[in-house]
Chain A
Amino acid sequence: MSLLSLALALTLAGSPCHGERVVLVPLQPVALSTAEARRVEDLVRRAAETLPGACLESRADTVARVRARGGRLAGCSDAACWGAQVLAIGADRLVRGVVLGVGGTRSVALTLVDREGRESHTTVELSPAEAASGPDGARAREALLGMWTARAEPRADKRARVLPTVLLAAGGVALAVGMGFGLTARQTQKSLSTGSGDCGGEGQAFRDCFAGRLREGRARASAANVLLGAGALLGAGATVLFIWETP
């Protein structure tokens, strides 16, 4: 039984992770010793390992990367810099942070950045005595999860897709109405070319009725052409915008 468990564990350990590659950069201490900051970092690392769909890089590999870059990643103030840093380190998401020991308590401020340089932030207050306590771990997990799910559905994208959707809907309505006008115009044309166009009487009265039906048909045909053109333009615009805004 124990051999089976060991084999299963080895198999799971050796299997490649199929989620997003996440790198947790060693946390910077402020008003706190390096050792205390490391304890908090270990707490955050354990919480990050539980994120759904995330493959957290091992600390040894991350430390080797940071060492290769002079022992510290440069600070960024804009999305371009953040995105370039995430790409340069070969990650999908980067977690950076500062551990603070101010006001008689400890806190950790974390930033999650993706390849486009979009940032999410969270701050977790920890108990002053022991970083590895149960409530601290739960708080860290909750905060990380909130940050992780917030970035999965960026609100900016939702807003960005509104315009193409509206254009597409308007184009669809214009095409449908235009098609209706076109069909009725076609029907009028058929009735006028093959028969009397439902006009009765004779002489001047018949000619006036026939001319009236002809005008109606032309007007419907014009409206159909305008609506079909507008629908096509709106549809094309929506397509271009949709492609343009696709990340």
Chain B
Amino acid sequence: MRSLRCVLVLGWATLLVGTTVSAEPERVTYALILANNIGTEPKQAPLRYADDDGARYYELLSPRAKETVLLSVLDAETQASHPGLAARTAPPTRAALQQALGRLNARMAEDKARGDLPVLYFIFTGHGQRGAAGEGAVSLLDGAFTRTDLYTQVLAPSQASLIHLIVDACDSYYFVHARGALPVAPAQWEAVRERLALRELARYPHVGAVLSTASEQESHEWSAIRSGVFSHQVLSALTGAADVNADGRVEYSELQAFIASANQGVNDVRGRLEVSIQPPALDRAAALVDLRHRVGLGFLLLAPGLEGRVWVEDARGVRVAEMNKERERSVVLGLPPGPGYFLRTTGREAPFRFARAGAVVDGGALSWREQSFAARGAVEDAFRDKLFSVPFGPRFYEGYMASLGQSPVAPEQQADLTP
């Protein structure tokens, strides 16, 4: 009788565990990154750091993704600073994009069939423009890739259950959204309305959009960090710097507030970013990154006490994360474990290294020394003193969310103060 009871209990427990496991499908991440310095129009001067941004997105996302595709022609400087990466890239052409999309969609369909949850990062850094018809487009190596192309070739056929669309380009808003009058006669409006509706983000509730410009605006690059300003802020946020409630997840609202705080001190309107960030309508609390999952990253803990503007540079001099930390906030940055790093503040630096993926380094235990290098970049660079000049943390976030009238993320978990 006792053994029968044991068998019954074991069977029930197995059933319960099986149900629990199947209740939470595994998230499988893919990333498709397009980075192109060259514009399609003669008036568009070549960018300097779009390929660097693409390489940084690749290095940050590839440890946590099942497959990461980088379509970019890296310039000599970027190839030197990211050795071996060029061999894993393909040119950012329409054909290469379609080939990559086809392969990723096939893999994501297999994931879905297994009951997993495929997540796709679709990222573009480079030139963008608004065409004569008002339709936004970004520049590939062999021509423009329009908003129509985005919806018909990327979003509509995608097998992903969740898509994070990140675009750092001039007029990027119009690459995703339509606004204003279209050059269509009133008599033709009804005929094209249904077709146009298919090109609205509202039709794709599983897509979240992070766009560098909310209006007709240029994107900016910053020579001191060899990066586009917007991409640098997004990449910093995705390391975990924007995780305001220390739950290990970076939600869209946290990213939005992080970028707002980073640009708060920029007085020059030409340098201030007006971004457009829209979470997936299906799940407005969807996380852009989740550091809780097993990923091939090392983790730097910045505990309460450290405050002010801090940034992390790797041994190659690439600034991989930057923030202005509120004193009482705990932050964990997830970084690729390979190279050695320096945690820096004004006038001081502390070297550190992750022994392996998954290792945690306590920033409070690091040995600081006087900074032994001169700041790079032009002295007149207005971004140096103004970006990240406002501390980011729960106080800023709550105020910012209140000003937008949006719901904030759950408050930070506190230590258990029950006796």
Contacts and interface: CB of A to CB of B under 8 A. Distances in A.
Whether A and B are associated in the same complex: the answer reads yes
Interface of A: 25-35, 37-38, 41, 59-60, 63-64, 66-67, 71-72, 74-77, 81, 98, 100-105, 107, 109, 111, 119, 121-123, 125
Interface residues on B, range: 35 or more
Given A33-B413, A72-B414, A75-B305, 17 more contacts: A26-B415, A29-B414, A34-B414, A34-B416, A35-B416, A41-B415, A63-B418, A75-B303, A77-B327, A81-B305, A98-B303, A101-B248, A103-B295, A103-B358, A107-B360, A119-B364, A121-B365
B305 A102 contact: no
A59 B416 CA distance: 11
B241 to A, nearest CB: 13
Contacts of A30: 246, 248, 301, 330, 332, 413
Contacts of A72: 328, 414-415
Interface of B is mostly: loop
A121 B416 contact: no
B216 to A, nearest CB: 39
B360 A125 contact: yes
B328 A75 contact: yes
Nearest to B328: A75
Given A31-B291, A33-B413, A34-B416, A103 B364 contact: no
B111 interface: no
Given A26-B417, A37-B416, A31 B248 contact: yes
A119 to B, nearest CB: 7
Interface string B402-419: 000000000001111111
Interface string B304-321: 111100000000000000
Nearest to A32: B413
Nearest to A111: B364
A104 B365 CA distance: 23
Which 10 pairs across A and B sit closest by C-beta, in order of nearness?
A31-B248, A75-B304, A104-B294, A121-B365, A75-B305, A26-B415, A60-B419, A38-B416, A109-B362, A103-B358
B360 A109 contact: yes
A221 B65 CA distance: 86
Interface in B319-344: 327-328, 330, 332, 334
A63 B307 CA distance: 26
Interface string B281-311: 0000000000111110101010111110000
A50 B396 CA distance: 42
A102 B359 CA distance: 10
Contacts of A123: 360-362, 365
B65 to A, nearest CB: 15
Contact of B301 (A37, A67, A100, A105): A100
Nearest to B363: A109
B415 A34 contact: yes
Contact of A103 (B294, B304, B365, B413): B294
A71 B305 contact: no
Contacts of A27: 415
A32 B362 CA distance: 17
